[in-house]
Amino acid sequence: MPDTTELPRPRGPLSGAVVGRLRHGTPLPAVPSDVDAFGADLAVALHTCYELHYHGFRGVPAEWEWSPELLAFRGELERVFLAGLREGVAGGDDVSGALDDLLVEPVPGEGVSHFLRDKGEWWQLREYFTHRSVYHHKEADPHAWVIPRLRGTAKAALVAVEFDEFGGGHGERVHAVLFAGLLRAAGLHDGYLHYFDDVPAPVVAVVNMMSMFGLHRALRGAMVGHFAAAEITTAPSATRIDAALRRLGGSAATTHFFTEHIEADAVHEQVLRHDVIADLLAREPELAADVVFGIQATELLEDHFGTHALAAWQAGRSSLLRELPPHPGPS
C-alpha cells in the first residue's frame, strides 16, 4: 500500500479551502493580501499542496498533483511566503561570509540543541523528535529536485551527498529509515506525517521552504544555499542531541540517527561548500545573492522554531499543539 496519509486538519480558511478542494472539489478563494506569511493557515495550506508532489493523501487521486487551479492557488500562497522570507533576511551576495556566520553563535549556548544538551528532559526530547519527524520522514527528498538544475562538479558533488543521505544504496541505512527507528525507540509512532496535526506553524514552514526551493528552477541557488546551511549546522546540533540522550541514559537505538549525522554531515559541509557552491558560482556567478538568501532564510525559520520551542519548554509546557502521552524514558 502506498505510504499515504490522511488530509490534514485545517487551521484556517486557506488550508480549509485546499482540503475542501481535494476532498469535495469545492472552489478555491483568492489569497488575501494581508495573510500572515508565517501563520499556521498558510503553512498548512502550502504543505498540503506540496505533499501532492511527495506521497499524496489517502483517497486523493494522483492527478491532483498537476491541477491547474490548485497550482495557481499554490502560486499565490508561495508569493506571500517568499515575500515574507525576503523581508525577514538581510540579503547580500557575500556567500563565504554567510557560510562563516553559520558557525558563529549570536548568543552562545541558547539554541534548542544547547538547551536539550544541558537541561532537556526526556519529554522535551520526544517533542523535538516529533517536530522534526515532519521533515525527516522525507529527509533529502526536497533537495533531489535541484539535481537536474545543476551541471558539472556541482551536480556530481551534490549527488554524492544525496547518495549518503539515501543510505549509500542500502535501504536500511536511508536517513528517513534511521529516523523512523529513533521514533520507535523513543516510544513514538513512526508513521509518515503521523504527527503533522500536532506540530506548530514554524515547523511546517521549514519544510515548506525546502519544497518551494526544490520545485522552482528559479530558486536553485537558494536551495543550494539552504542545503549547505543545513549540512553545516547539523553536525554540531547532532553532537549536542547525542550528548543529551547519553546524559539521560539513551541506548544506541536512540543515538544512532544522530551519531550517523555527526560523521556524515561534517564531510557533507566541505563537499557542499567547496565543490557544489564553488562550481555553481563559477558557472553562474549571478546566483550568489540567491545562495545567500537560501542560507539566511534557513536561519530565519530555524530561529522561529527555536523561539517557539524554547518559550514553551522554559515555561514548563508542551511545544506541541497536543501533548504527547507520558513515556518512561530512553532505553
- Section 191-219 average pLDDT: 98
| Alpha carbon distance 231, 143 (integer Å) | 12
| One-letter amino acid for residue 283 of the chain | R
Distance CA 124, CA 271 (A): 33
Taking the CA of residue 188 as centre, how many other CA atoms within 13 Å lie in the half-sphere pointing to its CB?
A: 30
Task: Report the pLDDT averaged over residues 205-215.
Answer: 98
- Ramachandran angles phi, psi of 54, nearest 5°: -105, -105
What SS3 state is found at 231?
A: helix
Mean pLDDT of 242-259: 94
- 318 in Cβ contact with 191 (< 8 Å): no
Tens-digit pLDDT profile for residues 258-313: 999 887 777 888 899 999 999 999 999 999 999 999 999 999 999 999 999 999 99
Q: Is the pLDDT of residue 331 over 70?
A: no
pLDDT of residue 269: 87
Angle between helices 220-247 and 122-136 (to 10 degrees): 150
With a cut of 70, say whether residue 110 has pLDDT above it. Answer: yes
**Closest by alpha carbon to 136, among 114, 169, 165?**
165
Res. 107 pLDDT band, cuts 50 70 90: low
User: Packing angle between helix 68-88 and helix 13-24, nearest 10 degrees?
Assistant: 160
Q: Is 188 exposed, middle or buried (0-12, 13-18, 19+ CB in 10 A)?
A: buried
- Model confidence at 106, pLDDT cuts 50, 70, 90, reads low
The pLDDT mean for the chain works out to 95
Torsion of CA 228, 231, 234, 235, to 10 degrees: -130
Q: Alpha-carbon dihedral of residues 255, 257, 259, 260, nearest 10 degrees?
A: 160
Residue 264 has what pLDDT? 77
Grid cell digits, residue 192? 509518515
Which of the two residues, 329 and 216, has the higher pLDDT score? 216
Provide mean pLDDT across the span 85-94.
Answer: 98
Task: Give the contacts of 281 (CB within 8 A, at least 6 positions apart).
Answer: 95, 287, 288, 291
Give the distance, in angstroms, between the CA of residue 244 and the centroid of all CA atoms in the same chain. Answer: 22
pLDDT band, residue 192 (cuts 50/70/90) = very high
Q: CATH number for the 95-314 domain, one of 1.20.910.10, 3.40.50.150, 3.40.50.2000, 2.40.30.170? A: 1.20.910.10
pLDDT of 174 > 60? The answer is yes
C-alpha distances in angstroms, 106 versus 109, 206, 263, 312? 9, 20, 25, 21
Range from 2-6, 77-81, 123-127 carrying the lowest mean pLDDT = 2-6
Identify residue 26 by its one-letter amino acid code. T
Residue 92 CA to residue 165 CA, distance in Å, equals 30
pLDDT over 70 at 2, yes or no: no
Q: For residues 60 and 7, is the Cβ–Cβ distance under 8 A?
A: yes
Beta bridge partners of 57: 5
Residue 1 has pLDDT above 50, yes or no: no
Which helix (H) or strand (E) is 16 found in, with range?
helix 13-24
The domain segmentation of the chain, as residue ranges, is: 13-88, 95-314
Rounded CA gap, 236 and 230, in Å? 11
